[in-house]
Amino acid sequence: MTQSTHHDIEFPAPDAVTLRGALYVPDRPGRHPAITMAHGYGAVKEMALLRLAATFAEAGFAVLVHDHRGFGASDGTPRQDIDPWKQIADWRRALTYLESRPEVDADRIGLWGSSYAGGHAIVLGATDRRLKAVVAQVPTISGFEQSRRRVAPDNIAALEAALDADERAQLTGEAPRTQALVSADPAVPASYRAQDAVDFYLQELPEGTRWDNTVTVRSTRNARMYEPGVFIERVSPTPLLMIVGEQDTVTLTDTGLAAYNRALEPKQLVMLPGGHFAPYTTEFARASAAATAFFRSHLAPGGE
């Protein structure tokens, strides 16, 4: 096990937005293989990612984990607003920042993303050859299909009306409207209602963590339009690891497996018991071990 030191860092992203996060560096000389990480829909790095970053650092990797714009320690307005393409552009800038660090071997950088950011991992893996290995954990494959299954047919008209009303209000100068990110109360508009989602997002966070149980309404429209699965064949020849939950009703087990089947070699699949949030909780050890072994294989020849 390698000892490491972590630093709070910041770097400029497109549109003059400052992103912030943490950089973990192994306590030994030389340039290290590295991993860049970011979280899923509406989450911040304190929600299991810092724990995973420390695990990767103990395995000998330099690790950068950042908060998306408008979330956590990062700047950006409006707050709690999710645009997948802006997050992807920001993450590409995070990769550029990471390769500039003197502690990092720029020829051995991998990327890890989960859930919504698992979809980003597929897009970035397909479009940025600086990456030498990509892990997509319980990734979003099809925003349309996820929405189709999670929104009851009787509720679609009301959802569309809310999206259109928000769009019209912004024309008049109103700020983007918001709703709850999670709520078990069916009377409260929310992105997620399942108990495992409520438990994950409402977990106790370290004092001083900036997070609100809100998300912009327009983020839902963006999510329903987001189809990262169309990039899956283009990740090759970059090695791809997909981690899929056997009972995932959020990003959907079957769409994950179908995307994996379309992916080209080199690729690897790990199936985990449980639902969407299990890799952060009950299956954390297995998920982290699989990703660590994968990164060791492709970023650290000779078992560094």
* pLDDT, one tens digit for every residue, the chain (304 residues): 788 899 999 999 999 999 999 999 999 999 999 999 999 999 999 999 999 999 999 999 999 999 999 999 999 999 999 999 999 999 999 999 999 999 999 999 999 999 999 999 999 999 999 999 999 999 999 999 999 998 888 889 999 999 999 999 999 999 999 999 999 998 899 999 999 999 999 999 999 999 999 999 999 999 999 999 999 999 999 999 999 999 999 999 999 999 999 999 999 999 999 999 999 999 999 999 999 999 999 998 644 4
pLDDT at 151: 84
Q: Is the peptide bond before 228 cis (omega within 30 degrees of 0)?
A: no
pLDDT of residue 301: 63
Task: Give burial (CB, 10 Å; 0-12/13-18/19+) of 243.
Answer: buried
Q: What is the pTM of this model?
A: 0.97
Tokens, residue 250: 């959020």
Per-residue pLDDT tens over the stretch 189-226: 999 999 999 999 999 999 999 999 999 999 999 999 99
Residue type for position 278: A
Cα–Cα distance, 38 to 97 (Å, whole number): 14
At residue 17's C-alpha, the angle toward residues 21 and 67, to 5°, is 25
Give the span between the Cα atoms of 42 and 95, in whole angstroms: 21
> Domains in the chain, start-ordered, CATH in brackets?
4-150+226-303 (3.40.50.1820)
Burial degree of 78 (CB within 10 A; 0-12, 13-18, 19+): exposed
